[in-house]
Amino acid sequence: MSMFFHSYFEDICSAISAVDSSSLDEVTSMIKKTSDNHRKIIIVGNGGSAAISSHVTIDLTKAANIRAINFNEASLLTCLSNDYGYEHWVEKAIEFYADKGDLVILVSSSGQSKNMLNGVIKAKKMNLSLVTLTGFKKENPLKKTGDVNLWVDSSNYNIVETAHQTWLLSVVDCLIEAKNSTIKSKE
The CA-atom distances, in angstroms, between 99 and each of 60, 78, 146 are 18, 23, 18
CATH code, domain carrying 58: 3.40.50.10490
Domain that holds residue 166: 2-186
Q: What is the mean pLDDT of residues 22-40?
A: 98
At 184 the pLDDT is 67
**Domains contained in the chain, number:** 1
pLDDT in tens, 112-131: 999 999 999 999 999 999 99
pLDDT tens sequence across 4-25: 999 999 999 999 999 999 999 9
Work out the pLDDT band at 180, boundaries 50, 70, 90.
Answer: confident
Range with the poorest average pLDDT among 6-15, 29-38, 177-186? 177-186
Q: Provide the whole-model pTM.
A: 0.95
Q: Measured between alpha carbons, how far is 162 from 19 in angstroms, rounded to an integer? A: 13
**Strand pairing partners for 149?**
132
Cα distance between residue 170 and residue 83, in whole Å? 37
3-state helix, strand, coil in the chain (%, to 5): 60, 10, 25
Class of residue 11 by CB neighbours under 10 A (exposed 0-12, middle 13-18, buried 19+)? middle
Closest CA to 96 of 67, 58, 122, 121: 122
The arithmetic mean of pLDDT across residues 77-95, rounded, is 97
- Find the mean pLDDT for residues 68-88: 97
For residues 154 and 135, the answer to whether their CB atoms sit within 8 Å is yes
